[in-house]
Amino acid sequence: MSVLDNLTSKLNKLTTDVKQTTHSLIDDASRVVDRAFDKHICIGVTGFSGSGKSTFITSLIHQLRYSNEAGLASFLAARDQRILEVNLLSSQGFDLFDYQAGITALSSKPPQWPQPTQSLSSAIVQIVYKRNSAFKRVLGETSTFNIEIRDYPGEWLLDLPLIGQNYLNWCFDQTDLTKQAVRKQLLGDLFQHLHAINPFDVMDESQIDQLYQRFKFFLKQSKEQGLTLIQPGRMLLEDKHHQAVPFFPLLGLHNYDKDALANANDKSIYKVMSQRYQDYIDVLVKPFNKHFFDDIDRQVVLIDALKVISGGKDNFDDMMLAQSRVMDCYKYGSLNALQKLFTTKIERILFIASKPDRVLASQHENLRSLVNDIIIRTCSQKLRNSIRIDTESACSIRCTQEVNDLLRVTNAEGKRGVVDPILIPDHIPTEAEWAALPYWIPEVLQPPEIDGLVNGARLPSIRMDKVLTFLLGDKF
């Protein structure tokens, strides 16, 4: 390539970069102005893996798109048929949330659940609506409001607490977690291998990779066993774009002097693991934290309390610990219009006890109260005093029918039948109550068969109108 060709190539690349940056800045500026004038809101949907985020977002978008037919009794803008037009738009810097793929899956024969999220995604639901009569004369008959909804893999959520931990403290933490009987059993002889490693030794890549593969297998087994606090979370996923560098905890570091570890040779296994741990945080965790959460105004947290309580006390306690650590990572507090121009904090958060259709209607309040007890135990008093928090028992897509105190269901294989659902405590069980609770495995159920869903047929749900009212009721 000639000097001129090389220069031309660099100029073309520079021009492309400038255009992309300009478009991004314009989009960001437009969003900031809309937020300041209360024409844009960003809702983050979060929850641990398996809590139903993709299904929830698919339902949320569908309820808004076809609000006049959705039976949203307490969401006044829909009840009064003031929503005139709904458009689905992409958001700069994110993959478009694949709402259509979710609806296609639910419409298939037999119906399938929407696929779990594999990457950061977002959708802007643009709503043209009639204003309340009190504002028509001053502001006009109609207005437009943008609702940005963001989604991400639940496994990524587990990595947020790593930002506040260095490698040494993470290793101490992982060592403490192995005191749990279930973790020690799953580790097997890998515990001895990771405990016996001399941190000052030099290990070649083949040795590192062998231990790394075994550690990843342990993480996947932990997830299958129903544990929640599984770190690093991304090691549970096959990410083609961002492969995590191999690292694992050294479980015997409490036997060594901290200063000696800090001054270890750069080629020692301790320094290699420490650097890779920090690279993981800097390259994967911090950008996700900033890119996803910086603009969030309101947050939905889905909690599958039925799943964790069915696994017994150890699994439940593990979820509580994970929930507590994640909640400590967020910024909260309401903002006035001027502050919104320069910073963002989460001003409302709704904790949802998901999948209440798996228990009788008479148990829904117990399920909500159980989640409320979880929040009281895992969220600091300061957080609960500085933000509007609510809990609700809500189901984005109902897949059971209640008949004579039984639930009519269709399992994943398409077999229909009835089940006698479990009774749920309305609080975190005591030791004695845990001993009395039966162990059960929640069955995977098939979504309901719905004709005409692609054309706007109603999705059966539970209390999605109340969810929308909490998140958006003050905006219309």
Give the pLDDT of residue 304: 94
**Where does 228-347 have alpha helices with state H?**
258-262, 269-280, 286-293, 305-310, 313-327, 337-340
DSSP-based three-state secondary structure for 458: coil
Residue 422 has pLDDT above 70, yes or no: yes
How much is the average pLDDT of 31-52? Answer: 76
87 membership: H or E segment, kind and range: strand 83-89
Residues 328-354 pLDDT 10s: 886 555 545 444 443 457 889 999 999
Give the pLDDT of residue 4: 47
What is the overall mean pLDDT for the chain? Answer: 87
Alpha-carbon gap, residue 448 to 321, rounded angstroms: 34
Bigger pLDDT: 215 vs 441: 215
Alpha-carbon gap, residue 211 to 247, rounded angstroms: 9
Q: Pick the closest to residue 186 from 214, 163, 209, 162 (CA basis).
A: 214
Angle at 69 between CA 360 and CA 116, to 5 degrees: 60
Residue 34 has pLDDT above 60, yes or no: no
Q: With beta carbons less than 8 A apart as the criterion, state whether 211 and 265 touch.
A: no
Give the pLDDT of residue 337: 47
Q: Pairing mode, if any, of strands 401-403 and 406-410?
A: antiparallel
Alpha-carbon gap, residue 33 to 52, rounded angstroms: 32
Q: How many residues does the chain have?
A: 476
How much is the average pLDDT of 268-277? Answer: 97
Residue 278 has pLDDT above 90, yes or no: yes
Alpha-carbon gap, residue 359 to 421, rounded angstroms: 5
Q: With beta carbons less than 8 A apart as the criterion, state whether 265 and 200 touch.
A: yes
Alpha-carbon gap, residue 404 to 416, rounded angstroms: 16
**Which residues neighbour 393 within 8 Å (Cβ) at sequence distance 6 or greater?**
352, 353, 356, 364, 365, 367, 368, 371, 462, 463
Residues 347-369 pLDDT 10s: 899 999 999 999 999 999 999 99
Angle at 299 between CA 297 and CA 302, to 5 degrees: 170
| Amino acid at position 245, single letter | V
Alpha-carbon gap, residue 339 to 222, rounded angstroms: 43
How much is the average pLDDT of 366-375? Answer: 97
Alpha-carbon gap, residue 78 to 64, rounded angstroms: 8
Percent of the chain with pLDDT over 90: 70
Give the pLDDT of residue 327: 86
